[in-house]
Structure 1
Amino acid sequence: MLFFGFYFLFARTPEKKIFKNYLRSRRIMGIALLLLAANYSVHFFFEIRFKNADSAILMNLSTYFLCYYLFSSAMITLLDRFYITRKRSWTHIILWVIFSSISGVVLLLLPGGTVQKVALLALAAWLVIYGLVLARRVIVAYRRAVRIFDDTHADDLGAYIEWLSTFTYWALIFGVGCGLLTFLPDKYVFIWILSSIPFYSYLFYSYQNYLLFYEQVENAFEQDIQSEEELLTDTETEPEIVSEEEIPVSYTEIIEKVDNWIKTDGYVQKGLTIKELSEILHTNRTYLSAYIKTTYKMTFREWITGLRLEYAKNILKEHPEINVQKLAEASGFLSRSNFIKSFADKEGCTPAKWRKANLE
């Protein structure tokens, strides 16, 4: 954990301005990891649980409360660069001071007995609820980002940030579990420490892997991500002001434009966005998005993916010998793995199995 923490703090990233937000997120996570490493070190090397169990529990509660905020802030800032504000930071720091102070009073000043146990139960509930609230914020931010991507980009950019959702659920289970494990008898403390190894290893791997896709995702955020309030709520934004010149006089006009575009196989263009398509069709982006949702009952990405998959099946029929990599590229997919996943989701089998079942 010391290695992970120091690496997150000091390892270099590509010298591009766009990586500034990624670096900030990673440094916040690095601080959280070093705090937890210090906590584990005190337990492991100084055996504080065996010397003063109440002090050990106090240290755990205080550390977890602060790290919950650091973890969630690091994750959300990858999805919303405006999430971290001075007001929000001070609010959580004050909450941490209050929580730690009350925990100290309960554990060190209250006499053992029913009152102390009830107070400890209340503190544990507070910690769990706090963690749940922060985890919900991460999940809401993640889902909002995926919806934005699906409505505006043909490629599955949501797959690049899926680890954020997976890690959040894992962190929630692990965090609550650690909060409960801190009350276990001293002889079981090794379970609490060993359980952290796969968790933090996955975190490190995810951050490193995300570096490969971060620039692409951040460029998409540059175009489409919305304000802090919109990201963390489900409220609808006001539609764009559309001029009369931009709006087709009827659905007939846009239907004709879309049909002609489909006939020319324009959907195989890699990295296609709804903004680019609206420019190609000489129509308004908001109007085009509404047309796709109304007519096809699906998002922009789902619609383009369906067209690409039909195109891929036609190629397979004409050229059954083509390999999957070339087929994915010809159909407009960014990667072979994404093509296979999309194909399997729709057809229930891989392209190779579909070819065998339908063409042999």
Structure 2
Amino acid sequence: MNHLLYEYSLCTALALMLFFGFYFILAQTPDKSIFNNYLRSRRTMGAALLVLSANYAVHLFCGIRFTNHNAAILMNLSTYFLCYWLFSSALTSLLDRFYITRRRLIQHITLWCLFTILSGCVLFYLPCGIIQNSALLCMATWLFVYGIRLARRLILAYRHAVRFFDDTHSDDIGAYIRWLSIFTYWAVIFGVGCGLLTFLPDRYIFIWILSSIPFYIYLYHSYMNYLLFYEPVERVLEEEAEDKETLTPSCYIDIAENIKKWLEEDGFIRQGLTIKELSEILHTNRTYLSSYIKATYHQSFRDWITTYRIEYAKRIMLQFPEQSIAEVSEKSGFLSLSHFIRIFKEKEGLSPAKWKKSKI
């Protein structure tokens, strides 16, 4: 094995991991109470990165992979198990502030200790050969299933949040958290790959180290960028937590007629419209209004509003061809020109400019 390549890879990765870990824990956030959950999530992620940094440091400075191969495998398996929980907790808590509880923490720490003890018994007390290899396969399967279950829980929380955003807001709030989904799928692939590479011959181990660098750089940039969008997302999630209103008979009075009148007045072009605001305009309950829109129009609130905005934009382009696409986008209620162009192309098969040219 090329020890120099191995050591350079470890050194580079370790420096980045230490920087990201300490930054996540120590860097400040805006002095607002709404950022408390973001700060807790980022510190949890920082702890996960420092745990991995400790693993890298032992490999780099102690050369444990060459002095005690079984101890290196045990350390890697134990580290991955713990970090799976820390990673998933950090990300899931961004979507569910009540996810990290004392009971859940005790449960997963207990599982981690049990996994580590059993892995140690397999590696140090079972005789080498088919028995030990079979037991190691069982431990690797346990680790894999554990990681998949945590990832599944995170993906379900992500999809639930996106559905709620689409059912309550006319703008694509879900785009602000799309990185969570991308990172989760990448983490599953990376985690499985790291687990497999643990058992590969030494000459391939630098692949495991180098593959972590772009993975954690993406994580760092995602967390930093999310700081810009966290507040609007968290406020929407707070609305969901508060959405426990009780329906009253007044919720059902003339809602169809009121919606028809509101549509005729082009109320949907109001930028940043939410279902809460519309329910107040229509004098109804937002939970019932969301259910009514789904049952009547077979669309989420966002898709329903977007459909009318696209039709309104088409009317504007035909009636006032001298107006620019940016002006049409703004007048139609879209906050972003790029979002308007993308949605228009998805629905019409042409960009707004090409559609306009084909009709005039």
- The answer, yes or no, to whether TM exceeds 0.5 is yes
Structure 2 partner of 1:242: 247
1:145, 1:225 within 8 Å by CA — same for their partners in 2?
no
Structure 2 partner of 1:292: 293
Structure 1 range deviating more: 318-327 or 280-289: 318-327
Q: How much does 1:271 deviate?
A: 1.7
Structure 1 partner of 2:96: 80
Q: Distance in 2 between matches of 1:23 and 1:287?
A: 34
Match status 1:188 vs 2:230: no
Within 5 Å, which residues of 2 pair with 1:54-133? 54-133=70-149
Q: How much does 1:2 deviate?
A: 1.1
Q: How much does 1:320 deviate?
A: 3.0
Structure 2 partner of 1:344: 345
Structure 1 range deviating more: 140-149 or 125-134: 140-149
Deviations 1:173-226 (A, max 9, x none): 100110111000011110000011111111111111111110000111111147
Q: Once the two structures are aligned, what percentage of the paired residues are identical?
A: 63
Letter in 2 for 1:123: M
Q: Distance in 2 between matches of 1:100 and 1:157?
A: 41
Letter in 1 for 2:284: T
RMSD over aligned Cα atoms: 1.6
Within 5 Å, which residues of 2 pair with 1:133-152? 133-152=149-168
Instruction: Pick from 158, 177, 193 the counterpart of residue 161 of structure 1.
Output: 177
Match status 1:219 vs 2:235: yes
Q: Distance in 2 between matches of 1:175 and 1:295?
A: 44
The ranges of structure 1 where at least 4 consecutive aligned residues each deviate by more than 4 angstroms after the TM superposition are none
Structure 2 partner of 1:330: 331
TM-score normalised over the length of structure 1: 0.92
Structure 1 partner of 2:283: 282
Q: Distance in 2 between matches of 1:287 and 1:125?
A: 45
Deviations 1:269-321 (A, max 9, x none): 12211111111011232332222112211111110011111111222223334
Match of 1:13, SS state, is: coil
Deviations 1:203-254 (A, max 9, x none): 1111111111100001111111479xxxxxxxxxxx8532223321xxxx32
Change (3 A) 1:65 1:226: farther
Structure 1 partner of 2:320: 319
Q: Distance in 1 between matches of 2:242 and 2:58?
A: 43
1:148, 1:225 within 8 Å by CA — same for their partners in 2?
no
Letter in 2 for 1:246: C
Provide structure 2 residue ranges, at least 5 long, that are not aligned to the other structure. 1-16
TM-score normalised over the length of structure 2: 0.92
Match status 1:270 vs 2:271: yes
Match of 1:88, SS state, is: helix
Structure 2 partner of 1:210: 226
Structure 1 partner of 2:354: 353
Q: How much does 1:153 deviate?
A: 1.1
Structure 1 range deviating more: 208-217 or 279-288: 279-288
Change (3 A) 1:324 1:47: farther
Q: How much does 1:108 deviate?
A: 1.8
Q: Distance in 2 between matches of 1:69 and 1:285?
A: 36
Q: Distance in 1 between matches of 2:337 and 2:62?
A: 51
| Count of matched residue pairs | 344
Q: Distance in 1 between matches of 2:119 and 2:215?
A: 27
